[in-house]
Amino acid sequence: MKSLLSVQNAEKYYGNKGNVTKALDGISFDVEAGEFLGIMGASGSGKTTLLNCISTIDQVTTGSINVKGQDITRLKAKAMDHFRQNELGFIFQDFNLLDTLTAYENIALALTIKGEKSHLIHDKTVAVAKYLAIESVLKHYPYQLSGGQKQRVASARAIITDPSLILADEPTGALDSKSARLLLECFESLNKDLNSTILMVTHDAFTASYAQRILFIKDGTLFSEILRGNQSRKAFFQQIIEVMTLLGGDDEHVL
């Protein structure tokens, strides 16, 4: 089966002669459609750089990144916009909601920009909101929402266009543990019920334990990979902690 995402020998250098940082050092991996993949690693290991290169916010120095067979490192500006709009959904640590728009308007924005018919926008927005249990707050502005509600609005916004790939960067970073659990259960059902492909960067073992597979990155390269398989989430959590210990650090440093 062909991969949805294929990263091959990706290298990324920052800086210039005499002052070069190698943020990605020849990393390669594949993600199948319908996978829920976690990416972990110590601070500075290259997680955000990797996510930024996949999302075309940044560009690899060498190597290729294929999404649905298309090398996205070679896209021209217009094709890149199209790729971002149609293939990707973004979820950020700090929500990135527009403060002057209601939850409904935030969620519907991508469809509004696309020029979809308003009844279709309405039906889709309400359906997605119901799915994420935020239907009752659709008329609220971001300042009227809890952190957990904000992140579920942001998640609704990310999935409303049915993207091929959902990219989440520390999605639970600003949430209390109850809201984090609720959000991760939403991710789990998105992945199971709707077959959404999720790529989630996190430093948190609890958050990562909701993924099916985890890549551990060290110094811009792949250090280890573990699969949840049939084991319970708790057992997987323990396995994650063990790899984090091997990576060299405690909770505070390995992340």
Q: Which of 31, 36, 37, 46 binds ligand ATP (CB under 6 A)?
A: 46
Closest CA to 40 of 230, 222, 228, 231: 222
Site stretch for ligand ATP (CB under 6 A), options 25-33, 39-47, 150-158, 244-252? 39-47
* Residues 178-194 as b or e (16 or more Cβ within 10 Å = b): ebbbbbbebbbebbeee
Residues 175-214: x where in contact with ligand ATP by CB under 6 A, - otherwise, as a string: ----------------------------x-----------
Both structure tokens of 229: 């398989």
According to the binding rule CB under 6 A, does residue 41 interact with ligand ATP?
A: yes
According to the binding rule CB under 6 A, does residue 144 interact with ligand ATP?
A: no
Q: Which of 27, 36, 38, 45 binds ligand ATP (CB under 6 A)?
A: 45
Q: How far is the CB of 19 from ligand ATP (least distance, A)?
A: 9
Contact present, 97 and 154 (Cβ < 8 Å):
yes
What is the CB neighbour count within 10 angstroms for residue 173? 16
According to the binding rule CB under 6 A, does residue 2 interact with ligand ATP?
A: no
Question: How many angstroms separate the CA atoms of 155 and 168, rounded?
Answer: 9
According to the binding rule CB under 6 A, does residue 59 interact with ligand ATP?
A: no
- Cα 100 to Cα 96, 104, 128, 142, 195: the distances in Å are 12, 12, 21, 8, 32
Q: Which of 36, 40, 47, 148 binds ligand ATP (CB under 6 A)?
A: 47
According to the binding rule CB under 6 A, does residue 3 interact with ligand ATP?
A: no
Give just the sign of the alpha carbon dihedral 145, 146, 147, 153: negative
Q: How far is the CB of 211 from ligand ATP (least distance, A)?
A: 17
According to the binding rule CB under 6 A, does residue 49 interact with ligand ATP?
A: yes
Closest CA to 40 of 167, 252, 203: 203
Interacting residues toward ligand ATP by CB under 6 A = 14-15, 21, 23, 41, 43-49, 203
